[in-house]
Amino acid sequence: MRIVLVGPPGAGKGTQAAYLAKNLAIPHISTGDLFRANISQGTPLGQKAQEFMRAGQLVPDEVTIGMAKDRMQQADAAGGFLLDGFPRNLAQAEALDGILKADGLKLDAVLDLEVPEDEVVKRIAGRRICRNESSHVFHAIYNPPKTEGVCDACGGELYQREDDSEETVRKRLEVYHSETEPIIDYYKAQGLVVTISALGKVAEVTQRAMAALDRD
């Protein structure tokens, strides 16, 4: 299957993508991984991306599209893939259609993870990270530490990242609504969108997604 995964920040796309890709036996292709791989390997696209990132600018669509195209044409993606974070906007969605069409391929589904905005804010703004070890992550509501502000694992100080503040989260949601959400209507016109609730336990959401994709 060739699937695009969409949803607002905090919807759990990365977590669900990993489980779904494993269940479907297809590679999980995320924008973050594309950037890291190209930059670490020193590819021409990676060098271009790094120039923009160092200047504090957004990586242009053509660079991201080029990375995605190269990755989708690798041998392990011949039987399908799950795209996470790409396409990010209409221009990228149209480019993806063109890439697939040139190879005689098409998308099978666009899985839309639906989460109420207030829940997104609650999920992200409640995160607390350990200053000693960033893999130690807690949540003020869903996974609180035994002692407020103190990491259960190592006793380090827990803090809220600037990117996780409510103000920043709401700004990220505005960007999602203006730039990424329009691709849902674009794909609805092609009859590709499958919308599921991303509320509940991780395993429940995965089961919901697999059932929806199977029906599709």
Residue from 66, 83, 91, 100 nearest 27 by CA? 83
Residue from 162, 161, 183 nearest 107 by CA? 183
Active site residue ranges: 13, 88, 127, 161, 172
Token output for 136: 């130690």
